[in-house]
Amino acid sequence: MTDNDDGQPQRLGDYLRERREEAGLTAAEFCQQTRISPAVLKAMESGDYQALPANAFARGFYALYAKTLGLNSERVINWYDEERQRVGSGDDENIGGSAIYAAPETHRMASAGQVRPLLTLLILLVILALAAGALCWRFGINPVKVIREKNHLVQTRFQNRQRYFHSPNNTTKVIRRADEKKKTPLVTLSGDR
């Protein structure tokens, strides 16, 4: 922080405005170059912290302002933090106020530690089961009966499958799988019966 001619510390907004004007940039040109809105730029240069967005955004704007003018962004952000704390403590009632400290209210929001993933999964499974039951009831489907029919169909196909396998070169020779009870050779050619 630098001092004014009066010996009082210079405000950050005044310092930044002076540096912008020294660089030969008008407020409109600076807003176009940095994409900072004119209202935010005016609030930054006047020290109206209540008109600024949330602290994280304001810090980003001050860093962008400093980088655009070739200033030390860490110094500017620290200066902003000091002025903001001073304004919040009530030293200067002409600017800011306790409204800029609304951020601590976020502790009332849900945090990751309060979420119970197992309970959430259980609730989702119950909802899914209810939805499936409603669909089965609506279309007259008995899931137990359907599963039994499918299981019986698979077992029947497995038991009745052909016991003959064709050789890979698709010749007329057929390899037959013998039944275990008859004690016949495992592999016989179709012409050798």
The domain segmentation of the chain, as residue ranges, is: 12-107, 111-161, 162-193
Per-residue pLDDT at 126 = 96
Q: Tell me if 166 sits within 8 A of 174, measured CB to CB.
A: yes
Using one digit for the tens of pLDDT, what is the confidence trace for 103-151? 444 445 555 556 688 888 999 999 999 999 999 889 988 888 888 988 8
For a pLDDT cut of 90, what percent of the chain falls above it? 21
83 pLDDT higher than 80: yes
Using one digit for the tens of pLDDT, what is the confidence trace for 24-64? 989 999 889 889 889 998 988 888 888 888 888 989 999 99
Architecture of domain 12-107: Orthogonal Bundle (1.10)
Per-residue pLDDT at 177 = 54
Is the sign of the CA dihedral 135, 139, 142, 146 positive or negative?
negative
CA 182/CA 16 separation, integer angstroms: 101
Average pLDDT, the chain: 75
CA dihedral (174, 179, 180, 184) in degrees, to 10, reads: -60
